[in-house]
Amino acid sequence: MTFTQLEVFAALARAGSFSRAAALLARARDAGSAIIHVAHRGKAGSLFDRSAQPWRRLASIDGVSQARFDRGSGRVLFTRLAAGGLWSADAALSSASVQQISDDRPSRWRYRAWTVAGSNGIGYLGTSTTCGTTFVRILPGRDEPERCLDAERLSAGNGLSASADGDDLFVAMAVSDGADIGVMRLPERSPAMFPAFSKLLLFKGNGPS
């Protein structure tokens, strides 16, 4: 039996704590089962067998910025550092299985604003000139209309998740945005306070001995 990250996440959702997930991993190790972990660390998405110590890397895809496992389809979804869009690969990360799902969503700079939503569903948060936060389902070969979630407020950079069936979305919104750019004039030359003070001491005969 193979345990993926999603089984661990499912255990967390059912138990509401990390103890259930830890127990699941412990039982898997005791039974000698392979525990597959999909990791991404800025440059590559890698598949590790965590039943071995140290972890054994089974496969890798270069240039990955974010990766998530879609349990419904048994595939790994990921974004790339070099360009916008979404790709998929099989659970073994075989190079022959890599294919592009979308060529423009998620954008390169919003690579965390998407999630697996239900069976074969992919949700993405964006923004437009008329709406602060939009939501759209990414489907291969088909453009879905965007839905406006909040006309004024922007979503957080990585605040999107969905229930297992995809019926409920959990979105982090920026209730208040205090970020801004300040501009000030710099003096042409900083005043030299300490040299003048030192000259005064020397004039009075109290210079350093």
Q: pLDDT digit string (tens) for 100-158?
A: 999 989 998 888 899 998 877 899 999 999 999 999 999 877 778 899 999 988 887 77
Task: Give me the sheet containing 56-62, strands edge to edge.
Answer: 2-3, 34-40, 44-49, 56-62
Is the pLDDT at 25 greater than 80, yes or no? Answer: no
What is the tens place of the pLDDT at every residue in 39-75?
A: 555 567 777 777 778 877 778 888 888 888 888 888 8
Q: Reply yes or no on whether the pLDDT at 181 is more than 60.
A: yes
> Whole-number mean pLDDT of the chain?
75
* Euclidean distance between CA atoms 66 and 30, whole angstroms: 31
